[in-house]
Amino acid sequence: MHVTTLGAERQASCPEASAAPRSLRLVQPVAPVWTTRQIARVFFTVAALAIFLYVLYIVRSVVVLVFVAGFLAVALGPPVDFLQRRGMRRSLAILTIYLAFAVAIFGIGLLVVPPVVDQVNGLSKDIPGWVKDLRKSKTFRKYDDKYHISKKLNEQAAKLPSKLGSAASTLQDVTVGVFGALVKLVTVLTMTFFLLVDGGRLIGWLLRIRGPTEEERLRRLFEDIYRSTAGYVAGNLIISVIAGVTTYITLLLLDVPFAAPLSVLMAFLDLIPLVGATIGGFVIGIVTAFHDFPTATIVWAIVFIVYQQVENNVLQPLIYRRTVDVSPLLVIISILIGATLLGVLGALVAIPVAAALQILGRDMWARRQPPITIVETPGGASP
């Protein structure tokens, strides 16, 4: 910036005038001219970024698997650490947690499948008797003779037991289909195992590259993200178990069929934020309507509404305290984005991912704020 001083001759002849205010005229700075090296640097930077994004798009399925493995490693980290602190080797602790989940899934299968098979077989045997009772109605006989309703109902009743095989196949496709295939599931569990074993050392090595000052800040940042994610996963599982147990006790007292499968369904849907419990409650309400309307339906509606209020106003604030603090708008947006990208799995991991992004955003905002300095004047007063 060029500065032109007026009255230079007067200052030369009269030194006292140098203390007087000087009149300045500012000249606009000349726009910088980019050199060939700078242009080449920008071009190659943009080209490298484009190539990186293209490669990332090509291997997006692998990136998803790594993301899922990382999320599972964070979620399973606290129980693994707990067993390790009790003297168990870390690799053995990880295998123990895997085995516990396998036993839990197998136990749920034993709890759900036999009642469903018994109820379906009983239903297939009872339908012909119900059809005979319906034939006693003059109105039903009129439409039955015209549209052959009884014949069709009996045919479908005879096919019910054979449909259990296709239902089991569909259930297998749903459970394994979260990862696309059984091979991908094994791959994810293997990556999760190695992340749980060596993830801490890998992150520590990456942090040490940044230097002592950055290492301390980033380590606190990762610890906050780890605590937030692990707390959310553990809290969500606890709340879902409470929802399932409450549903099972209620349906058992109402003598509603399929109490165990419906309770498992409620617990699983309650894992999905915002809408999962509502969907589960609506489905169970339909089942109670077929069983004993309106008594069972009204009782279930009251229990479900009361439980939802307790869960939203008591359980969630108590369990999620100091772990997950995400604004409601960010929760809705993150769930919509997660469900669009990864379906049910995306909706499940949406809130912890949003919490991690919020922690990173707060850290970036705190770093960009300039430090406040206080300048003391000669008189001792601060401006």
pLDDT in tens, 62-114: 888 888 888 888 888 888 888 888 888 988 999 999 999 888 888 877 777 77
Q: What is the mean pLDDT of residues 248-265?
A: 87
pLDDT tens-digit map of 30-74: 556 778 888 888 889 999 999 998 998 898 888 888 888 888 888
More confidently predicted of 272 and 113? 272
pLDDT tens-digit map of 3-14: 444 444 444 445
Taking 50 as the threshold, does the pLDDT of residue 256 lie above it? yes
In 3D space, the residue among 135, 37, 277 whose CA is nearest the CA of residue 285 turns out to be 277
What are the extents of the domains in the chain? 3-43, 228-366
Report the pLDDT value the prediction gives residue 114, as an integer from 0 to 100: 73
Taking 60 as the threshold, does the pLDDT of residue 173 lie above it? no
More confidently predicted of 170 and 232? 232
Mean pLDDT estimate for the chain: 75
> pTM for this one?
0.63
Report the pLDDT value the prediction gives residue 179, as an integer from 0 to 100: 47
The DSSP symbol for 26 reads E
Report the pLDDT value the prediction gives residue 178, as an integer from 0 to 100: 46
Taking 50 as the threshold, does the pLDDT of residue 223 lie above it? yes
Q: Where are the alpha helices (DSSP H) in the chain?
A: 8-13, 36-58, 60-85, 90-134, 138-147, 149-177, 182-209, 212-253, 259-270, 276-291, 295-310, 316-319, 328-342, 344-368
Whole-number Å distance between alpha carbons of 215 and 207:
5
Range 147-183 burial, b when 16+ CB lie within 10 A, else e: eebbeebeeebeeeeeeeeeeeeeeeeeeeeebeeee
Task: Give the SS3 label for residue 370.
Answer: coil
pLDDT band, very low/low/confident/very high, at 127 (cuts 50, 70, 90): low
Q: Worst-scoring range by mean pLDDT, 52-56, 89-93, 140-144, 271-275?
A: 140-144
Report the pLDDT value the prediction gives residue 92, as an integer from 0 to 100: 92
Whole-number Å distance between alpha carbons of 220 and 78:
17
Report the pLDDT value the prediction gives residue 8, as an integer from 0 to 100: 45
